Structure 1
Amino acid sequence: MQLSSLIFILTSAFMVTASPGPASLSIADTSLGSGRHAGLALAAGIVTGSLFWSASAAFGLGALMKAYPWVLDIVRYLGAGYLLWLAVKSAQVAIWDLGVSANARTDRLGGLQAYQRGLLIHLTNPKTILFFASIYAIALPADTSLLSLAIVVLALLIQSSLIFFGYALLFSDARISSFYKRSRRFFSGVFALGFGAAAFKVLISA
């Protein structure tokens, strides 16, 4: 495997991973509303989902799913439905200001629940599946060794971990969290629109 191929894969993955989307949106929402522990747990779930699809694409599952688009359709509908559910939950806070304190939210969204939410968000994101399948097909030849594939998967894991855990640490910063508490309804409205838009994009994705 050439170094240029690895750089191309990491650069492409960075642009996709760091850009706004369901993953970063959910990390911000959870870190601000439920605290650092929940934010890091959710980020861990997203990283796990990313690792699953990266490894799957490296060993051919991504190409198999592209060959059977009905599987991707099922994943897409599940993902869109879940994002819509998150949009409704955020909208409820924005419209009615349910009076849930930050501490109560932390209790309601524990580490395991946050991890499961992050994992579900990434496992049901068809764009993640297609991205990894495409990037491996473009950048790596069919005869790439198992060692080279493992290196790529590990490098992507490290990069995505730095990005997603970094977002969790950023949005759980005390100053940002304090500002969020004063403007919780506004932020909840933004998150509701963001999750709704993400769901729409997932539904119309080919």
Structure 2
Amino acid sequence: MLGLSWAQLGSFVALCLVLAATPGANLTVVLGCARQGGQRAAVAATAGLTLGKVFWAAGSVLGLATLLATSRLAYDMLRLAGAAYLIWLGVQALRSARRRPAVRPPDGPVPELSALGGFRRGLIGDLLNPKVGIFYTTVFPQFIGPDDAVVPAAAVLLAAHTAVLMTWYPGMTYLLTRVGRRLARPGLSAVLDRVMGSVLIGLGIRLAVVPL
């Protein structure tokens, strides 16, 4: 299989599942998009962050992402940009909580975030996430053996990572949406937006203050 063994691919998929299930910036962004735009925005955000990983994987294969591991200045610039973006998303969520009406509209809540907006959030958030860069610089290459065809093998691993993300995140948001219909009540939605915004701001501050 293009030089990759089933053991290599299975180990990589297992790692991707663990990382996807671990709370972090990507999961918070996707859940935030689901809160503001529904399932379509969540799926679009997941597509955006998977596209971001395409760029990271290409950079890793070409040797460009190595800059993050060798240049402290480049890493710090990306880290601070990512922190600022997370804080901005958190502020937007807090502002959304203040704008929510006290009573649910007769026709139900209207999504505040479009699919395009969700896609953009996912893409930008992933490109400005230094942890993704470090993963594709240091961990990703470890699953490609010295005798493997690098580009085809990297494409297979990237496809596997994409499949995991496009299954896990939309599936999780769908289940949460189906189980938590009552969360659509404006009062509780405002509380959840405040929690989500606070988490995003906290992640941003942590990323800015505590390097990896």
How do 1:25-36 residues align onto structure 2 when only pairs under 5 Å count?
A: 25-36=28-39
How do 1:4-153 residues align onto structure 2 when only pairs under 5 Å count?
A: 4-94=7-97, 96=98, 98-99=100-101, 103-104=109-110, 106=111, 108-145=112-149, 146-153=151-158
Other structure's SS at 1:114 match? helix
- 63-72 vs 190-199, which deviates more? 63-72
Q: How many residues align?
A: 202
- 164-173 vs 41-50, which deviates more? 164-173
Aligned equivalents of 1:180 and 1:133: distance in 2? 41
Structure 1: tracts of 5 or more residues without a match: none
Give CA deviations for 1:84-115 in whole Å, capped at 9, x if unaligned: 11112223344x454397744x2x42121221
Specify which structure has the higher proportion of helix: 1
TM-score by length of 2: 0.82
Instruction: Confirm whether residue 205 of structure 1 aligns to residue 211 of structure 2.
Output: yes
Paired-residue identity, %: 21
Give CA deviations for 1:49-108 in whole Å, capped at 9, x if unaligned: 1232233324433223322232222221111111111112223344x454397744x2x4
Give CA deviations for 1:124-171 in whole Å, capped at 9, x if unaligned: 100011012221233333453132222222212211211122233234
Is the CA contact 1:45–1:118 (under 8 Å) kept in the aligned structure 2? yes
Structure 1 residues 155, 14: closer, same or farther in 2, change over 3 A? Answer: same
Structure 1 residue runs of 4 or more that deviate by more than 6 Å after TM superposition: none
Q: CA RMSD in A?
A: 2.4
Aligned equivalents of 1:141 and 1:185: distance in 2? 50
TM-score by length of 1: 0.85
Is the CA contact 1:31–1:171 (under 8 Å) kept in the aligned structure 2? no
Structure 2: tracts of 5 or more residues without a match: none
